[in-house]
Structure 1
Amino acid sequence: MQLAPLLMLLWLLASGLAAAPAFAQAPAPAAAAAGADPGYRIAAGDELALKFFYAPELNETATVRPDGRIQLQLVGEVRAAGQTPRELADALKRAYAGSLRYPEVSVEVEKGFARQQVFVGGEVGRPGAQPLLPGLTLMRALIVAQGPTDRAALNRVAILRRDESGATRVIRVDAASQARRGADDGNDPPLQPFDVVLAVPSRISRVNKWIDQYVRRNLPVNVGFSYDLNDNNRRGD
């Protein structure tokens, strides 16, 4: 039998996870956060400063487009989203090797982390966008959204995530299992830029249809992305 959402919240409060609201109100400066985290992944909307050590005339600032690419001099379009700044710098060094004798380049994220968000909706107390801060997991995002309501089915929370090709994945998470075996990446996964977390109502039998309808009716335009859900991108219910 699935635990009631209220009992789940009480258990989380006792375990210390409910400190997330305070954590969510202390964002770090964007540049510092990106620079301090070697695992930071570039995302759509990030502004990148490219500096060429031996060809300063090529220095520029590029904004990552919604399709994850940037447009650069000499080499044209380059995929940036999903890479760390170091990985992108290595890719650019290879791309410019045919045009420059010394293609040494650095990549810095000037505006990035503070602009990345996730969206939490469905059966939660306060649906809406949240800043993607370090350590934000599915359950912490639900708690910041004032928790799941008593109509939510915590054993089938859905995460909508776009891959590098732009296709949408629907990841099913059994968050209710945290009470039985504790939180881990399987039932409380870390969130990625522009994830959509949906607390599905327990009364719904056709989950995919409900997700389609919810996204089309409720997903705010200012989140910065859109999803095209179809049967090729997910398992049917």
Structure 2
Amino acid sequence: MAEFALSTRRLLSIVAPLLVALSGCAPVYVYDSANYAKEFDPRAHEYVIGVGDSLQINVWRMADLSSGALVRPDGIITLPLVGDVFVAGSTPSQVRAAITKRLSEFVKDETAVVTIAVTSVNSYRFVVSGNVAHAGIFTSTYYVSVSEALAMAGGPNQFASTDQILLIRMDAPGKFRHIPINYDSIVSREHPEQDLVLKAGDTVYVP
């Protein structure tokens, strides 16, 4: 009897997932478990420089050290005297501090006053995939919310499960998190807090 019970349990462990798959039941997401108010909002933080962005670096009273720079695919810019500086993933304040430190190795008599300006934003990219009219990689020169990203992709198509959208966000290299989004609640203004502003690298998936 014990052997029969064991084999039955094994059979159920194999058959049960198949029955769920064949039934076509969609996964259930618990929206109350997400703390939308605490999600990262890039509008409330200093801009993070990325590949493809253009910078203008000015060194006060040192015009020969001032230069425009394009962030290369390796995340590096090249400046007069200083040479290569890795800037991707850093804020302008962090880049200013790094360049100032590097310049101090060459400029001994006075403190170099460095300013950094992001003159062209090209690294703000995100993906909209799944059941939308035009899935793909999108760019913008301004921050975009979930609903705006979906509009850029032509909106959900007739097969979309608009109440089960996922915002896939990378919190750390190789560490992704799925944030449930109910687009119907955004449109109805029942839960506008779910219309999160996207970070560069986010993916909006419409099942």
Q: Give 1:52's aligned residue.
A: 59
Alignment of 1:140-159 (within 5 A): 140-153=148-161, 154-159=163-168
Shift of 1:172: 1.0
**Count of aligned residue pairs for this structure pair:** 160
Q: Which residue matches 1:119?
A: 127
Q: How far, CA to CA, are the matches of 1:121 and 1:73 in structure 2?
A: 42
**Contact 2:121-2:141 within 8 A present in 1 as well:** no
Question: 5+ unaligned residues in a row in structure 1: which ranges?
Answer: 3-36, 202-237
Out of 92, 104, 108, the residue aligned to residue 85 of structure 1 is 92
CA contact (8 A) 1:160 1:168 kept: no
Q: Distance in 2 between matches of 1:94 and 1:178?
A: 51
Asked whether the equivalents of residues 159 and 197 of structure 1 are also in contact (C-alpha less than 8 Å), the reply is: yes
CA contact (8 A) 1:132 1:192 kept: no
| C-alpha deviation, 1:178, in angstroms | 7.0
Unaligned runs of 5+ in 2: 1-24, 27-43
1:40 and 2:19 correspond: no
**Quick one: which amino acid aligns to residue 182 of structure 1?**
H
* Structure showing the higher strand proportion among its residues: 2
Q: Deviations over 1:35-67 (max 9, x none)?
A: xx9833322101112121133222222211223
| Aligned partners of 2:55 and 2:119 also within 8 Å | yes
- Give the match for residue 134 of structure 1: 142
> In 2 relative to 1, CA 89–142 (structure 1 residues): closer, same or farther, beyond 3 Å?
same
Please tell me the residue identity of whatever aligns with 2:93: R
Judge conservation of contact 1:138–1:189 (CA < 8 Å) in 2.
Answer: yes
CA root-mean-square deviation: 3.3
For the pair shown, the structure with the greater C-alpha radius of gyration is 2
Kindly, what percent of the aligned residue pairs are identical? Answer: 26
What is residue 108 of structure 1 aligned with on the other side?
117
Deviation at 1:104, TM superposition (A): 1.5
> Aligned in 2, Cα 1:156/1:127: closer, same or farther, shift over 3 Å?
closer
TM-score (norm 1): 0.55
Q: What is the DSSP-based 3-state SS (H/G/I as helix, E as strand, rest coil) of the residue aligned with 2:182?
A: helix
Partner of 2:192: 183
Q: CA deviation at 1:90?
A: 2.5
